Chains A and B, each alone.
Chain A
Amino acid sequence: MSRAERLTRDQERDLVIAAEAGDPAACRELVEAFLPAIGGLARRFPGGIGVERQELVQEGVAGLLFAARRYDSGLGTPFWAYASFWVRKAMQELVAELTRPVALSDRAVRGLAHMRTARTDHLRIHGTEPTLAELSRATGLTPAQLESLRALERTPRGIEQPLEAHGEAAATVGDAIVDPLAEQAYDQVLDDLEIRAVHDSVGRLAERERVVIEAHYGLGRPAQTLKEIGGSLGLTAERARQIEAGALSKLREALARPAPDGRLASEGPAAY
């Protein structure tokens, strides 16, 4: 019995809602619970198409977490019955992207996949499009390399199209990769999630604003009065209140205005 099958409906609901709220531990637990099912969907894709099992699983994880952000538990649909659609859709789109007919070097294809994964992760974690510099940091590719990759555009090819790779007849990914490798892929996905820990809204404020907000509302620490906070920062209570008011105002204004870069964020407000 898989971990997902061991969850009660209430446990599953609470886990999905916590993941939707960006709780990293809940995201990890949700992924762990449904990874066998994700792997099962990945195995249905034909082999020899130039898409590795790990890439399909990683895309499936992104699809699962997207489903968690959109899933309405009030409708009563079992989560996997709902999420499997988005998991499979995410995998299909990856396959379509990576199996375009124009010849690319393997390195370029991998670079594209790496860039796309970094972008997806950034969207998931920050709710904003990554800048070129952020993508560069995340992928290790230079801005010039990223620009070149962005320019690569070719026509998608259907996944049902007969394919051969390296002169060998197509086989399923599941035929080619044994379970231990799947586990390894799974661990890498989770490590990736862990490394790119979810940054909360407060983390995007200036340091002093962040300290005041977290301390006053007891976020991750015992709540303090404005006088106590001011004392620890060498400020008056009134100055601490002003900093807090400014921080809240900054957050609100950022939410109300469009993102400066004009990109479509995955999760509402583009930037604080």
Chain B
Amino acid sequence: MTCDGHSLRHNALVYGSADEYVARSVAFLREGLAAGEGAIVANTRPGLAALREALGPDAAAVTFVDVSEAYTRPARTLAAYHAVYAGQLQKTPSLRAVADVQFGPDPGEWDLWTGYEAVFNRSFGHLPAWVLCTYNMNGLPDPVLEGVWRTHPEVLAGDAWHTSEHYEDANLVLRRITPEPVPLPGLRPMPFGRDLEEFRERLASEAVRDGTTHARVLDLLLAATEVATNAVAFGGGVEEVRVGRAGGRFVCEIVDRGGGFDDPSAGYLAPRNGSGAGLWVARQLTWQIDFFRSPDGFTARIWL
């Protein structure tokens, strides 16, 4: 198997031991280096050290990336990887990467990172990259390992590549794992104002009054501006704005008059020619953004 040099190949390696992880990763990367591709290893420090040692002199041509603190929220992790891949692709026409996803201990968040793996296929679909995500079959829970086959079209397991029969479109996975939004009765209405500038002023005032730190107010203003700009440009205008605290976070709901969209990947696609970066920016700056239709209209709910 080879990378076609034009688009993403997003595969998984399910390994049974540290030795297997090292041996298969090194073989994968060396094959790419021999073909003139860039090579990236993303893992925590011990994993990086093991691969660096095994690669020997070849390590000099490999970019090692410590991901110890990178996996906070999927949108931020995607943005971080995008930066690394874009940097590498300035030096080589294509790249190979071995990446270790950091699933945490809480079963409640496994779906979140499975969703991240699913949307990775769309987010970087345009990049000439072959990414091998690594999963320890002896160290990860079954639901996570089952998710591997839903989010990677091809999986290297045992001694062979397997085409996954369970692979699903990213949006299908995202829809399944996204809970139905519930009303937030504690929010209060906020007049939108004459234009985006007045909207930002009012929103800043509400957020400051609510005790939001200054740095986060600016994040909110940037994110809400992107969402409100979409509502004005494509949603027939802003119908209603609601703000307040919910679940300990500052929340801003922007309801527009349009039909909305039905794309759970919205805001997760890395910037590329022909696509806007507004929601990509907004997702990076916030905890979560939900898009849903309600009796009031198409709603964007921003959780700071």
Show the binding face of A for B, using Cβ within 8 Å: 10, 13-14, 17-18, 20-23, 62, 66, 69-70, 72-77, 82, 85-86, 89-90, 93, 96-97, 100, 120, 123-124, 153-156, 198, 200-202, 213-214, 216-220, 223, 248, 251-252, 255-270
B70 contact set on A, CB distance < 8 A: 264-266
Specify the chain A residue showing the minimal Cβ separation from B82.
Answer: A258
Given contacts A123-B69, A259-B87, contact A268 B218 (CB under 8 A): no
The answer to whether A262 and B87 touch across the interface, beta carbons within 8 angstroms, is yes
B: number of interface residues (CB 8 Å): 67
B residues near A265, Cβ cutoff 8 Å:
70, 79-80, 83
Given A262-B88, A267-B69, 19 other A-B residues pairs in contact with their CB atoms under 8 A: A13-B247, A66-B68, A74-B247, A82-B106, A93-B68, A123-B69, A155-B49, A198-B215, A219-B214, A220-B214, A223-B205, A255-B277, A256-B277, A259-B83, A262-B83, A262-B90, A266-B68, A266-B80, A268-B285
Query: Which of B66, B68, B79, B248 makes the CB contact (< 8 A) with A269?
Result: B79
Choose among B42, B104, B208, B216 the residue that contacts A70 (Cβ–Cβ < 8 A): B104
A-B contact count (CB 8 A): 189
Contacts A75-B109, A156-B49, A219-B208; A21 near B216 (Cβ below 8 A): yes
- A153–B56 Cα distance when bound, in Å, is 10
* Known contacts A22-B213, A262-B63, A263-B83; is-contact A219 B218 (Cβ 8 Å): yes
Q: Which A residues are CB-close (under 8 A) to B83?
A: 258-259, 262-265, 270
In whole angstroms, how far apart are the Cα atoms of A213 and B220 in the complex?
A: 13
Take A124-B69, A267-B72 as given contacts and tell me if A256 and B271 are in contact as well, using a CB distance cutoff of 8 Å: yes
CB neighbours of B214 from chain A (8 A): 200, 202, 214, 219-220
The reply to whether B44 and A93 contact each other, CB–CB distance below 8 Å, is yes
Chain B interface, DSSP helix/strand/loop, else mixed: helix
Contact B80 A264 (CB under 8 A): yes
| Least distance between B202 CB and chain A CB atoms (Å) | 10
- The CA-CA distance from A96 to B285 in the complex, in Å, is 33
Complex Cα–Cα for A219 and B209 (A): 11
